[in-house]
Amino acid sequence: MLNKHQFNKMKNENNKIAMITAYDYPSAKMAEEAQADMILIGDSLGMTVLGYDSTIPVTLEDMIHHGKAVKRGAPDTFKVIDMPFMSYHISMEDSLKNAMKLYQETEAQALKLEGSGEVVGTMERLVHAGIPVVGHIGLTPQSVNVLGGYKVQGKDKDTANQLLEDALQIEAAGAMALVLECVPRQLAELITSKLTIPTIGIGAGADCDGQVLVYHDILKYGVERLPKFVKPYYDSNKALGDAVKTYVQEVKDGSFPEEKHTFTMDRDSLPEK
């Protein structure tokens, strides 16, 4: 398993960090077998596996449940897990307790928190307590209703400057990496060059130190529309959908099961009646 120093070294040597989300045992196993450098147990699981239309309904218990499954599928990969909506905002005491529970029960290697401002103080306390932290700025889906939709962030001088300031503060708070979501590549490049910690981009261009995408998006698995920044590497909806349809059809028309799927015995051993 890679560690914080090795991720910094990758940044310095321009070796890209490949990160992918995972939410359960099979996706985690696949990510580990593919030698992903980092796995994100993202609260995007609210959409990808729980069917909500945002990350807002996701609870700490949901994250723990999925985090444990990912740990079993990818025991040897560095795992980052999201603190869910409002689990790090109510009070410092609640935030620290929630962080401790998530960190201890899932055995992930780091926690990810969205946002800046007051959240930076919480990040500092977590790092001080010994919990590695990853930041996440730009489009922060837990604040989608404040941002007014899933849109590119930081396109003008003021917001670009704010994002750079936020990035520097997050680094100063002791974060080990920073996710940049949906920001123009020029801004992501600038932030990446100003930070000593790695940036992991999603919709932030090729100049970030690493990339992260959602497992279900790259496989087109259960998702219909994909954002511009996603490259689909497979069409699971079609491939798996066809397989399931064929199974249902074959049961209905009697062509499944065949002899080779069937156990047999001597008729003599059957009960008399």
Residue 202 interface partner, choices Na ion, ligand KIV, none, CB cut-off 5-8 Å depending on type: ligand KIV
Question: Quick one: which segment of 1-9, 66-74, 77-85, 146-154 binds Na ion (CB under 5 A)?
Answer: 77-85
Q: How far is it, in rounded angstroms, from Cα 136 to Cα 140? A: 7
Residue nearest to ligand KIV (CB): 42
Within 10 angstroms of residue 207's Cβ, the number of other Cβ atoms is 16
Least distance to ligand KIV, CB of residue 5, Å: 23
Q: Does 81 bind ligand KIV (CB under 6 A)?
A: no
160 binds, among Na ion, ligand KIV, none (CB under 5 to 8 A by kind): none
- To ligand KIV, the closest distance from the beta carbon of 247 in angstroms equals 31
44 is in an annotated binding site: yes
Rounded distance between C-alpha atoms, residue 164 and residue 175, angstroms: 15
In angstroms, give the least distance from the CB of 254 to Na ion. Answer: 46
Note whether 24 binds Na ion by CB under 5 A. Answer: no
Please, what sign has the CA dihedral across residues 115, 116, 122, 126?
Answer: positive
Q: Enter the tokens of residue 217.
A: 């998006």
Cα first-last separation, the chain: 62
Q: Which is nearer to ligand KIV, 44 or 95 (CB)?
A: 44
C-beta of 105: minimal distance to ligand KIV in Å?
19
Assess 43 for contact with Na ion (CB under 5 A): yes
Please state at what angle helix 157-172 crosses helix 118-129, rounded to 10 degrees: 20
Cβ count near 9 (within 10 Å): 13
Catalytic residue status for 181: yes
- Of 113, 120, 133, 202, which one interacts with ligand KIV (CB under 6 A)? 202
207 is in an annotated binding site: no
Minimal CA–CA distance to 44: which of 136, 121, 154, 166? 136
- We find the least distance from the C-beta atom of residue 136 to Na ion, in angstroms, to be 7
Q: What is the DSSP letter of 181?
A: E
Buried b (16+ CB within 10 A) or exposed e, 240-252: eeeeeeeeeeeee
The residue from 20, 32, 44, 167 that contacts ligand KIV (CB under 6 A) is 44
> Which of these is catalytic: 32, 171, 181, 189?
181
How many of the other CB atoms lie within 10 Å of CB of 118?
Answer: 11
Q: Is 269 annotated as a binding residue?
A: no
CB 251 within 8 A of CB 257: no
Contact 200, 177 (CB under 8 A): yes
* Sites of contact with Na ion (CB under 5 A): 42-43, 82
| Residue stretches of the annotated binding site | 43-44, 82, 112, 114
* Sites of contact with ligand KIV (CB under 6 A): 21, 40, 42-44, 82, 179, 181, 202, 212, 214
Active site members = 181
